Structure 1
Amino acid sequence: MLLHPKPLNPVPTPSWNLHPLLHPKPLISSPTVEPTPPVGALTPSYTPTSRPTLVKGDYTCTFTYASQGGTNEQWQMSIGVSEDNKLFSCSVWRPQGKSYLFFTQFKAEVKGAKIEYGMAYSQAATGGQSDIPLKAEEFEITETTVAHKEGKFRSELSKLLIVAKTPHDEL
């Protein structure tokens, strides 16, 4: 597991409701623009639907998913860059812990950095309970994505975390 030598500077955390009939607008942030929460949430279909995107400088994180159900669940997404600009993080999670949505697929993609560490969880830590990671066979990690594995993913997702290494010039 990658340890952070310095804390990451997070972008303000937007949140959105996961609702079956409304589509959110993408989130875009920059040093001068505050992210705004999207309106709405999930479409009840098996078609992947692009979801929030956060941008900080040259780095982007996009979360795409498809699910069944709709319980107006609150979800949050944040990104951050380390003070030395060598690490970029992206997190998507349900603050209340366990999601009751039936996810058919998910993918978090970063641009501008290469993934060093990624993890997906069926339950996020709340009220004294710990994060419960997905089994290794349920998802895969590439240089730029953390995504479900077709036929192996058990449809439970409550948290996703990526830490990526940014390209930097040595002087």
Structure 2
Amino acid sequence: MARFTDCFVLYSAVLLLVSVSPTDGSSERTTTVEFDVKPGGVAHSFSQTMGDHECTFTYVSQGGTNEQWMMSVGLSEDDKLFFCSVWRPQGKSYLFFTQFKAELKGTEIKHVNAYSQTAAGGQKNVFLPAEEYIIDRSTVTHNEGKFNAQLSKLTVIGRTLHDEL
């Protein structure tokens, strides 16, 4: 039961951060920026920092042309949680990711939500099956051979690492 409660608290913190954050990057606790996801089968990375924390999203994608995606990073009011979220705001993506990795520096990952689009091609995101990605201390990575290239949104929450006296 404690594990469920911890996840609920972390998830609630992210919902609060996302719901009150402006998308123009004017908040000191949250920043949201656009970036191009480029197809072509080669690895690309995009990073955002907030204080001592950094989120780097590395991917390989195929199909279509460049698409505008968003990355939000933020810190909880008490500086104990850092979150990173990557998604396509226009809805359906025509690209598919053959590989992905999200790395949070300065944190230990506590919760991940990964989504794919519905099979019918709708705008609704559904949870990506847990066997399609691997979570370790500071990274979330596609699971080679099990990932079905259907990532549409990724949210990662990490507990910040503080030096205690």
TM-score normalized with structure 1 length: 0.74
Structure having the larger proportion of residues in helix = 2
Paired position in structure 1 for 2:30: 10
* The 10-residue stretch of structure 1 (64-73 or 114-123) with the greater mean CA deviation from structure 2: 64-73
Give the letter aligned to residue 16 of structure 1.
F
Structure 1 runs (4+) greater than 3 angstroms displaced: 4-8
| Identical positions, percent | 54
What SS does structure 1 have at the residue aligned with 2:151?
coil
Paired position in structure 2 for 1:114: 108
Paired position in structure 2 for 1:44: 40
Q: How many residues align?
A: 142
CA contact (8 A) 1:99 1:157 kept: no
Give the letter aligned to residue 10 of structure 1.
T
d(CA) in 2 for partners of 1:168, 1:96 = 37
TM-score normalized with structure 2 length: 0.77
Partner residue of 1:70 out of 60, 64, 71: 64
1:15-164 pair list within 5 angstroms: 15-18=34-37, 42-45=38-41, 47-49=42-44, 51-123=45-117, 130-164=124-158
Alpha-carbon RMSD across the aligned residues, in angstroms, is: 2.2
Unaligned runs of 5+ in 1: 19-41
* 2:159 is aligned with 1:165: yes
Unaligned runs of 5+ in 2: 1-6, 18-28
1:44-79: CA deviations, max 9, x gaps? 02x322x21001111000000001113332200010
